[in-house]
C-alpha cells in the first residue's frame, strides 16, 4: 500500500496528478466529475425543497392549553433547544466543513445544506413566536445555552468540537485529517444524528397522543433534511476511507466511541430535565435506551461495533409518519411540479 507523507502538497503527485478529497486547495472543475454521488445528494436535496410558510403551527394552540404541567415543561425545554440547535450546526458547516471538502460537487451540497439550516432556524423562530407569546420568555429561550444547564452542556460539547479544528486552515498531516474526520462524524452522528433525533422522539411522542400536529408536520420535513445531511456526511467519511484507509485506525475508532458515549450522556441529562416532572407514557429509562439504540445505529454506519446492544423501546418511532411524508411529496409534486426520486431508509435513521 502506498504510504502517505506526513506533509502534503497540493500538486496531487501522489495520486497521478489528482488531489484527494481532503487535500488542500480549491478544485473548481465539475467536469470530469470526480464525486458524482455528492452531486446526486445535491439534486435530491433540491427536490426536497419546502418553506416554513407551509407549516401551520396555529393549529397547535388549542393543544397547548390541554397539556399537563409536566408536558408544558417538556415542550418549553424542547423549543429552547430548537432555538439555537441548527444555528450551531450551520456555524460549523461554514467555519470548518466547507473549506476542507475539496470537491465542487461536495461544496454544492454543503451550500444547499446551509440553506436548509437557515430554513430550520426560521421554522424554530416561528415555533417560538407561536408557542411563546411572552417576549421575555422568548428571550430566555434564545439564551438557553447560557441559563439552562442541560442545554448548556450540549452546547459546550458542540463548541468544543467546533474549536477542535477551527485553527486548521489546511489538512496537511494525518493528525489534521483525523481531527477533521472527528469533527465531521461528531456533527453527523452526535449532533444531527443523536441530539436532534432525541428531540424528534419527544415530538412524535406527543403526536402519538394526538397533540401538536403542526409541530409534528414541520418536524417531518426537518427530519428528512437531517437524514440527508447525515447521509452526505457519511458519504464523505466513506470516500475518505477509500482514498486514505490508513487514517482509520484503532485510536480513531475509540475516539468515535468515546465521543458518542459522551453525547449519549449529554442527551440523557437533557432527558432528565425534560422528564423530571413525570410525563405519562415516557420514562427516563426508555429514553436512555432509545438514545443508546440510536448511537449503535450511527456506529454501524461507520463500520464500528455497537456499544450498547439496546433496542428501540418506542413503537411510535418505528416508521413514524411514513404516510405523512409520502403525502407531503404528493402535495409538493402537485403544487410545484417538483419530481422526487430515491428513497429514505427510516430503519437506518432511527
Contact of 296 with 308, CB cutoff 8 Å: yes
Residue 226: its H or E element: helix 213-243
Return the biggest CA–CA distance within the chain: 66
DSSP letter assigned to residue 127: H
109 is catalytic: no
Give the whole-angstrom CA distance, residue 81 versus residue 186.
Answer: 18
Contact of 338 with 332, CB cutoff 8 Å: yes
The reply, when asked if residue 86 is annotated as ligand binding, is yes
Contact of 332 with 340, CB cutoff 8 Å: yes
Residues near 71 by Cβ (< 8 Å), separated by ≥ 6?
206, 211, 279
Give all strands (DSSP E) within the chain, no chain letters.
none
The reply, when asked if residue 229 is annotated as ligand binding, is yes
Task: List % helix, strand, coil for the chain (3-state, nearest 5).
Answer: 70, 0, 30
Cα–Cα distance list, 179 to 113, 118, 234, 275 (Å): 22, 26, 16, 35
Give the whole-angstrom CA distance, residue 241 versus residue 28.
Answer: 23
CB atoms within 10 A of CB 242: 10
The reply, when asked if residue 226 is annotated as ligand binding, is yes
Give the whole-angstrom CA distance, residue 314 versus residue 201.
Answer: 8
Query: 340 — phi, psi (to 5°)?
Result: -125, 130
The reply, when asked if residue 120 is annotated as ligand binding, is yes
Selected catalytic residue, list 35, 109, 124, 204? 124
Cα–Cα distance list, 309 to 12, 292, 294, 296, 346 (Å): 43, 8, 10, 7, 19
Residues designated as active site: 124
Annotated binding site for Fe cation: 86, 117, 120, 192, 226, 229
Annotated binding site: 86, 117, 120, 192, 226, 229
Amino acid at each position: 500500500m502506498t504510504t502517505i507523507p506526513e506533509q502534503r502538497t497540493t500538486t496531487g503527485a501522489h495520486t497521478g496528478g489528482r488531489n484527494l478529497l481532503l487535500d488542500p486547495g480549491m478544485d473548481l472543475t465539475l467536469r470530469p466529475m470526480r464525486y458524482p454521488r455528492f452531486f446526486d445528494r445535491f439534486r435530491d436535496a433540491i427536490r426536497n425543497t419546502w418553506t416554513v410558510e407551509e407549516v401551520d403551527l396555529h393549529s397547535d394552540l388549542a393543544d397547548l392549553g390541554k397539556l399537563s404541567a409536566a408536558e408544558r415543561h417538556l415542550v418549553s425545554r424542547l423549543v429552547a433547544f430548537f432555538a439555537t440547535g441548527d444555528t450551531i450546526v450551520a456555524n460549523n458547516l461554514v467555519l470548518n466543513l466547507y473549506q476542507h471538502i475539496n470537491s465542487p460537487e461536495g461544496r454544492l451540497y454543503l451550500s444547499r445544506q446551509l440553506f436548509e439550516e437557515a430554513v430550520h432556524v426560521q421554522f424554530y423562530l416561528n415555533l417560538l413566536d407561536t408557542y411563546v407569546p411572552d417576549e421575555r420568555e422568548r428571550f430566555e429561550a434564545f439564551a438557553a445555552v447560557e441559563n439552562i444547564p442541560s442545554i448548556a452542556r450540549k452546547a459546550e460539547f458542540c463548541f468544543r468540537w467546533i474549536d477542535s479544528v477551527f485553527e486548521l486552515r489546511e489538512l496537511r498531516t494525518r493528525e489534521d485529517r483525523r481531527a477533521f474526520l472527528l469533527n465531521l462524524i461528531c456533527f453527523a452522528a452526535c449532533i444531527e444524528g443523536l441530539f436532534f433525533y432525541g428531540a424528534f422522539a419527544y415530538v412524535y411522542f406527543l403526536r402519538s397522543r394526538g397533540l401538536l400536529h403542526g409541530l409534528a408536520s414541520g418536524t417531518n420535513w426537518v427530519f428528512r433534511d437531517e437524514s440527508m445531511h447525515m447521509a452526505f456526511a457519511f458519504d464523505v467519511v466513506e470516500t475518505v476511507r477509500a482514498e486514505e484507509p490508513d487514517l482509520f485506525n484503532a485510536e480513531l475508532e475509540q475516539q468515535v466511541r468515546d465521543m458518542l458515549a459522551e453525547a449519549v450522556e449529554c442527551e440523557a441529562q437533557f432527558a432528565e430535565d425534560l422528564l423530571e416532572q413525570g410525563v405519562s407514557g415516557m420514562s427516563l429509562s426508555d429514553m436512555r435506551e432509545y438514545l443508546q439504540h440510536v448511537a449503535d445505529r450511527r456506529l454501524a454506519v461507520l463500520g464500528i461495533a455497537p456499544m450498547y446492544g439496546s433496542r428501540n423501546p418506542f413503537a411510535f418511532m418505528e416508521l413514524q409518519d411514513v404516510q405523512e411524508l409520502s403525502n407531503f411529496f404528493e402535495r409538493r409534486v402537485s403544487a410545484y411540479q417538483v419530481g422526487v426520486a430515491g428513497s429514505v431508509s427510516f430503519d437506518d435513521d432511527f
